[in-house]
Structure 1
């Protein structure tokens, strides 16, 4: 045993490079953000520097735009989450059923997930939602209806549609993966006992997918809290503050107002918000899993 331990390097030295890289990759930017959040740092006047304590945080909290952006962020997250989970579950159940061309349809349904966010926003903005050249306007005029400027009249639903179009394939993939482990003998037994499609879904399929849907909700929520490219490309936070979320507000503070200290304080608030939401979701998922284990 002693010779075997001495022959190989300690586990710590094997893990040290990965741990060091993880620390440099995650903690150094966080520490710098915290540092600048307590500093007066304006790009147009770089000589005016100094420690301001919680001045940047108080300036951000006293700005009505911050509270509006926080509300818009939560609205975007929960709306996109509801749409992606519902449609991802429906498409997963659809593609789980055998039908001709299922493999091709699966590939086409998953393809939006591989489109870059900026490209996706440009497609929706110029090819689908444009009030003159867009596909939706052409369909409306063909039906004798007035064209709709979606990004101007319905900005937040438009952003939710763009984000959901990208992330529904992710939910569909995870739902399909969860359905692969569904025991067929349980479904056959339920059908023999006279259970209909709704009873199968309510009492067998949905409880079986509870863990999968919990993972979908947790991962998508974390990503939705940092949505930026779609808003920047499609609406630039407008009209007004209709689509100004917290990440976009941080961008405005840093590169429109050149107030790096206030932008860093906003980034700290974004980290705190993400941790609060993640903690809430993890506890909800833990309670859900414990309930399932007790029932089992």
Structure 2
């Protein structure tokens, strides 16, 4: 049983790590809030004084603001649906005994270790190029005109690229959850004559609820800030500009750190809204 002295000693030893962690989080956040109320132009005079809420008004009144919010939510929602649904199917498939099972699992998980910039370049130049890409040759083989994916279907293209990157992560988490399922439950249901669909719906899926929740929450945190895939492929054109990319453009084009900081605050607000929504919808499974 811990004594008062041991608890005090533990607090003292943990204090440096806690202070470092708080500083790591609070210092950038405080600087972002500070600059969002300043007119700070590094290449055009530096700090030009207090701007009040002018940066916030300018950012939200931009014609690209609400389309960027819409594009962000579409990408996040689409990738989550694709990775969770296909992740469940792949996890169930990889859980079955097969020849070379270990090699197959490594190949399925491998895309997760590819850098976003590299994967975006591969998809852009090898698969989606309208002249020499594999998709273009496939379209020509069936007698159809090649599609310029990154201009005619920019959002679906980015969703496809990002889903390819995050599907291994979802598969790995869900495969681990499936392997922890007691096989006796499935055997008992099979002996009672329960078909495959009912076994999946009433036994496997409820068992995966917590794992699905974890996948959704972790992926959402990262998907809200995707940047490299858009920068490499579309450059934010053709309706593919997310909130993160809009902030980048505002800072880069106008060299206005205050305006970009205001956009960063909006991004924080959006992330918290999405997080609260997800916690209310699927987070309850963590308490089950």
What TM-score, normalized to structure 1? 0.93
Aligned equivalent of 1:246: 243
Residue by residue, what CA displacement relative to the aligned partner does 1:100-156 show, whole Å, maximum 9, x if unpaired? 122111110100000000001000000110011211112222222211111111000
1:156 paired to 2:155: yes
Q: 2:7 & 2:64 partners in 1: Cα distance?
A: 58
SS of equivalent residue, structure 1 residue 250: helix
Deviates more, 1:268-277 or 1:116-125: 268-277
Q: 1:101 & 1:195 partners in 2: Cα distance?
A: 30
Alpha-carbon distance, 1:196 to partner: 0.8
Residue by residue, what CA displacement relative to the aligned partner does 1:69-119 show, whole Å, maximum 9, x if unpaired? 111111111011111111111111110111112211111010000000000
User: What pairs with 1:213-252 in structure 2 (closer than 5 Å)?
Assistant: 213-239=212-238, 242-252=239-249
Q: 1:37 & 1:234 partners in 2: Cα distance?
A: 30
SS of equivalent residue, structure 2 residue 144: coil
SS of equivalent residue, structure 1 residue 33: helix
Q: 1:220 & 1:7 partners in 2: Cα distance?
A: 39
Alpha-carbon distance, 1:222 to partner: 1.1
SS of equivalent residue, structure 1 residue 10: helix
User: What pairs with 1:1-296 in structure 2 (closer than 5 Å)?
Assistant: 10-47=9-46, 49-239=48-238, 242-289=239-286, 293=288
SS of equivalent residue, structure 2 residue 282: helix
Alpha-carbon distance, 1:7 to partner: 8.3
Alpha-carbon distance, 1:229 to partner: 0.6
Deviates more, 1:97-106 or 1:202-211: 97-106
Alpha-carbon distance, 1:6 to partner: 5.8
Q: 2:28 & 2:47 partners in 1: Cα distance?
A: 23
Q: 2:7 & 2:272 partners in 1: Cα distance?
A: 39
Residue 286 to residue 227, structure 1, CA distance change in 2 (3 Å)? closer
Alpha-carbon distance, 1:283 to partner: 2.4
SS of equivalent residue, structure 1 residue 268: helix
SS of equivalent residue, structure 1 residue 99: coil
Instruction: Give structure 2 stretches of 5+ with no counterpart.
Output: none
Alpha-carbon distance, 1:244 to partner: 0.4
Deviates more, 1:96-105 or 1:123-132: 96-105
Kept in 1, the 8 Å contact 2:181–2:207? The answer is: yes
SS of equivalent residue, structure 2 residue 41: coil
Q: 2:232 & 2:59 partners in 1: Cα distance?
A: 25
Alpha-carbon distance, 1:65 to partner: 0.8
Instruction: Give structure 1 stretches of 5+ with no counterpart.
Output: none
Alpha-carbon distance, 1:253 to partner: 0.7
What TM-score, normalized to structure 2? 0.95
Backbone CA RMSD of aligned residues: 1.8
